[in-house]
A = this chain, B = another copy of it.
Amino acid sequence: MADAPALAAIGDSEFDRDTAVVPRPGEPGVYDCALSGGWTIIAAVNGGYLLALVGRALRDALPHGDPLTITAHYLTPSQAGPAVVRTEAVRTGRSMSTGQASLYQFDAEGREVERMRVVAAYGELDALPGEVRTTARPPRMPAYEQCLSSADGPEGGPVSGSQDFLDRIDLRLDPATCGWAVGAPSGRGEMRGWFGLADGRPHDALSLLLAVDALPPTAFDLGLKGWTPTLELTVHVRRRPAPGRLRVAITTRNLAGGLLEEDAEVWDCEDRLVAQSRQLARAPRG
């Protein structure tokens, strides 16, 4: 392979630049940042991107480096532009610490408006014992080369709007979960795909927070169209992912009361379950 482009590195990539947080001098635990417009999908900044950014502020504020379990409540829609993260160290232990954070943007008068609230437990993934006992199996899906990118689809998706997010990621969907793009959803409520960052940045705990919320909503596979806003998203990061592309499998089993859950599993190329997530979202009305 000649002239393969140099891959971005953890700490020096689009994702890292766009999730940068700057400690505010004299205000411990407060971080200024700018939400990038590059992670916008349809009309909203992607929720996984926001979670990764807040997760990065918490990583700086807490004595431990990796989110083991992190929950976000999405309160008001975020927009590209300046923002501030206010963190609180709730409890600091030897092997684990608990923190809370809020992401704010500003109204026309410059007052802070809360966008999301996050509570998380941090630890050190590399310090966890190595034993694994699992009945979970990686999703069965075709090789990356047999999967479909957004460029393979017809013009225009089920929802119109910004597709900037898709330029930042390297997403190939299992054709079995792509029928919705041509008007033939499977009805099973599944979405599967290979996931990477477009610039080749390897994965870490923070990019896993992006991975769990990067695929099209399972509601599309149920034949629904329109926006599926996340109310709450919880991610368990179970292992540091090995270098290489991730496989993400998302399932919705129960749509009821206008709400649905989305359960995601993320697998690395060594067939290890590296993250599990569940979100509660509003079902589209379509």
Contact = CB atoms under 8 A, between A and B. Distances in A.
Contacts of A91: 75-76, 114
A128 B75 contact: no
Contact of A276 (B71, B98, B261): B261
Interface of A: 68-69, 71, 73, 75-76, 90-91, 96, 98, 100, 114, 117, 119, 121, 125, 128-136, 188-189, 222, 231-232, 234, 236, 238-239, 253-259, 261, 272-273, 276, 278, 280
Given A134-B254, A256-B239, A257-B238, A121 B90 contact: no
A284 to B, nearest CB: 12
List 5 A-B pairs, minimum CB-CB distance, nearest first: A128-B257, A136-B253, A69-B232, A133-B255, A132-B256
Given A98-B73, A278-B278, A253 B135 contact: yes
Contacts of A254: 132-136, 238, 273, 276
A238 to B, nearest CB: 5
The copy count of this chain in the complex is 2
Nearest to A238: B256
Given A117-B100, A254-B134, A68 B234 contact: no
Contacts of A231: 68-69, 96, 121
Given A68-B231, A98-B117, A232-B121, A239 B222 contact: no
